[in-house]
Amino acid sequence: MPDRVLDDPDFIPARERFWTTALADERDGQTRIAVAERDGSVIGIAMAGPPQDQDASWSAQLYVMYVLAAHLGSGAGPALLNAVVDPHQSAALWVADPNPRAQAFYRKQGFIPDGSSKTERGVAEIRMIRTFPGTSSSQDRSTD
């Protein structure tokens, strides 16, 4: 995120409202949230749920994924992602662009850019999707 977004005085109160709502909202029970901890401290968080994009042909969307910089490469990222999105499930996400480290991480997890982009609050993003050969992207692969 650009400094101007993080330095906005409303940023922290807005994030607090977001997480209070997300953690308390039981409307559909389809949202999944996971937290990674190390030595009793939170080092990462992820949230996923039903697709929000109008043109979605996938079954899940990653909404949030953060791992503290000191813990990048520790295995927390893949563990968080797999906790909120089944590794055999078609899915999509939006990632800041440029953000080569995050985009490389998602590529390693099977996501590829689909050519869609947007800018929200001054942050450019690209969409990355994960589908599986031989299946509709809106279906989960069976592991049985």
38 bridge partner residues? 41
State how far the alpha carbon of 108 is from the alpha carbons of 31, 37, 38, 42, 128, in Å: 24, 23, 23, 24, 12
Structural domains in the chain (count):
1
Does residue 70 fall inside a structural domain? no
66 bridge partner residues? 45
- Residue spans of the chain under pLDDT 70: 1, 26-28, 133-144
Whether 88 contacts 141, CB under 8 Å:
yes
- Domain of residue 53, residue span: 3-33+47-64+83-130
Name the region of 138 (left: φ>0; alpha: ψ -120 to 50; beta: rest). Answer: alpha
DSSP class per residue in 37-52: EETTEEEEEEEEES--
Tell me which amino acid residue 99 is. Answer: N
Whether 56 contacts 87, CB under 8 Å:
no
Quick one: pLDDT at residue 126? 98
Does residue 20 fall inside a structural domain? yes
Does residue 15 fall inside a structural domain? yes
Quick one: pLDDT at residue 134? 52
Does residue 52 fall inside a structural domain? yes
Q: The domain spanning residue 88 has which CATH number?
A: 3.40.630.30
Does residue 117 fall inside a structural domain? yes
Rg (CA), the chain: 15
Tell me how far apart the alpha carbons of residues 19 and 113 are, in angstroms, rounded to a whole number. Answer: 27
